[in-house]
Amino acid sequence: MNFCIQAGPVTREELGRATWTFIHTLGAQYPEKPTRQQKKDVKELMAIISRIYPCKECADHFKEVLRSNPVQAGSQAEFSQWLCRVHNVVNRSLGKPTFPCERVDARWGKLDCEHRMCDLQGSMTPFD
């Protein structure tokens, strides 16, 4: 197998696009009925991004964004809409146009993965 070794460091924009792709795809795939653990995990993930995102200025700004917009992850719709709103806060701060959040499901979908093998499992009981 041949590997391409020409790619150098990524730009802040490339890193941002890749990270938003990851986060919004997670939002699309997040369960309708998340377990307590899944809710905890996405809250922690956002907090971790706000601490160790490899662009300090972005991380510091995201910390403030999270402070004013606490994570809402009670369901798939709630989490993907929350993500859209916080992405729009970042868009506004960079002078970019905002994205219409009613179109978030059309823009971002679940991972294209055979037989739904990549789906996250949600809670089937009220006790998780």
Ligand X SMILES: Cc1cc2nc3c(=O)[nH]c(=O)nc-3n(C[C@H](O)[C@H](O)[C@H](O)COP(=O)(O)OP(=O)(O)OC[C@H]3O[C@@H](n4cnc5c(N)ncnc54)[C@H](O)[C@@H]3O)c2cc1C
Residues engaged in binding ligand X (CB under 6 A): 12-13, 16-17, 19-20, 24, 49, 53, 57-58, 61-62, 84, 87-88, 90-91, 94, 96, 99, 104, 107
| Residue nearer to ligand X on the CB measure, 20 or 75 | 20
Closest-approach residue to ligand X (CB): 16
CB of 3 to ligand X, least distance (A): 26
| Residue nearer to ligand X on the CB measure, 65 or 120 | 65
Q: Helix/strand/coil (H, E, C) string of 92-128?
A: HHCCCCCCCHHHHHHHCCCCCCHHHCCCCCCCCCCCC
* CA torsion angle 100 103 105 107 (round to 10): -90
Separation of CA 53 from chain center: 13
| Residue nearer to ligand X on the CB measure, 47 or 90 | 90
